[in-house]
Amino acid sequence: MPTLKQGLQTAIVTGGAQGIGKGISRRLLTDGWRVVIADIDPEAGAEAAAELASLGDIRFVAADVRREADAAACVRRAVEDGTPLGALVNNAGIAAPRLAPVESLRLAAWRRMLDTHLTGCFLMTKHSVPLLRGCRGAIVNIASTRALQSEAHTEAYAAAKGGIVALTHALAISLGPAVRVICISPGWIDVGPWRKRRTRRETPLSSRDHAQHPAGRVGTPDDIAALAAFLVSPQAGFITGQNLVADGGMTRKMIYAD
């Protein structure tokens, strides 16, 4: 069922060329949004735009969300056809949480993680807000359950995602009521089949991988896309500032060893 407000609006999806972002781009297109994928990978971006073109008006803009000039140019180009900006999905990220132990973690690796996830959210938001205000638009930030719980050697990723959860509620207070800002924290999402052709693969998931989830399975990009589509729709007009966990119930399990 289309959930779009009146009139065609543009949604920018960062990191929308592959994985969860591609799932969100596809879902928003089928819901009637015009979609602009902002991604650092031109090969993946061109492929995704071509694959999804039959579903609606989609455009790829090459952008590195860590760079302010790219963020500003991306937003400018996203609306140059005159379609108003109604949604921003800050999804771009490095989905490889484990780095070196903290004693040997290089500052450059720490900064790359923080810059991509957290600074990228800030920069894309900063340049989108003036346009989003005009539509009473919405921002959806993609964090992670790793903002809430950890494995060893994931400090930079956990800190970046925790920062996104906090940035979300701060923005919601600053930007409301004109713009709603919501965060989704996904758990384990299988993105293998959603990557660009050269690296696309079926992930060999075991029955144990699925069964450990209270929901009985590992997640898919469609699971996150359905939630994002709801959150940017007018039906979610009373939701802002929250972090919504979509993890098949994993963070609700008691996990002390027997």
Ligand X SMILES: NC(=O)c1ccc[n+]([C@@H]2O[C@H](COP(=O)([O-])OP(=O)(O)OC[C@H]3O[C@@H](n4cnc5c(N)ncnc54)[C@H](O)[C@@H]3O)[C@@H](O)[C@H]2O)c1
> Which residues 175-214 are close enough to bind ligand X by CB under 6 A?
186, 188-189, 191, 195
Of 144, 154, 168, 233, the one binding ligand X by CB under 6 A: 144
The DSSP 8-state label assigned to residue 83 in this structure reads P
Q: Where are the beta strands (DSSP E) in 16-169?
A: 34-39, 58-62, 85-90, 138-142
Task: Report if residue 24 touches ligand X, rule: CB under 6 A.
Answer: no
User: How many angstroms separate the first and last alpha carbons of the chain?
Assistant: 46
Nearer to ligand X, 37 or 129 (CB): 37
Quick note: the x/- pattern for ligand X over 102-121, rule CB under 6 A, is --------------xx--x-
The Cα 117–Cα 166 span in angstroms is 13
Of 9, 10, 13, 21, the one binding ligand X by CB under 6 A: 21
Task: Report if residue 137 touches ligand X, rule: CB under 6 A.
Answer: no
Of 9, 10, 13, 15, the one binding ligand X by CB under 6 A: 15
Nearer to ligand X, 44 or 171 (CB): 44
Q: Where are the beta strands (DSSP E) in the chain?
A: 10-14, 34-39, 58-62, 85-90, 138-142, 180-186, 243-246
Of 61, 92, 183, 246, the one binding ligand X by CB under 6 A: 92
Nearer to ligand X, 25 or 240 (CB): 25
The Cα 57–Cα 30 span in angstroms is 10
Which residues neighbour 103 within 8 Å (Cβ) at sequence distance 6 or greater? none
Task: Report if residue 78 touches ligand X, rule: CB under 6 A.
Answer: no
Handedness of CA 142, 129, 172, 167 (dihedral sign): positive
Indicate if 157 belongs to the active site. Answer: yes
**Quick one: residue 248, left, alpha or beta (phi over 0 = left, psi -120 to 50 = alpha)?**
left
Nearer to ligand X, 4 or 115 (CB): 115
Given 33, 60, 157, 194, which residue is catalytic? 157
Residue 170 structure tokens: 């701060």
Shortest reach from residue 7's CB to ligand X, in Å: 28
Which residues of this protein are in contact with ligand X, per CB under 6 A? 14-15, 17-21, 39-41, 44, 63-66, 91-93, 95, 116-117, 120, 142, 144, 186, 188-189, 191, 195
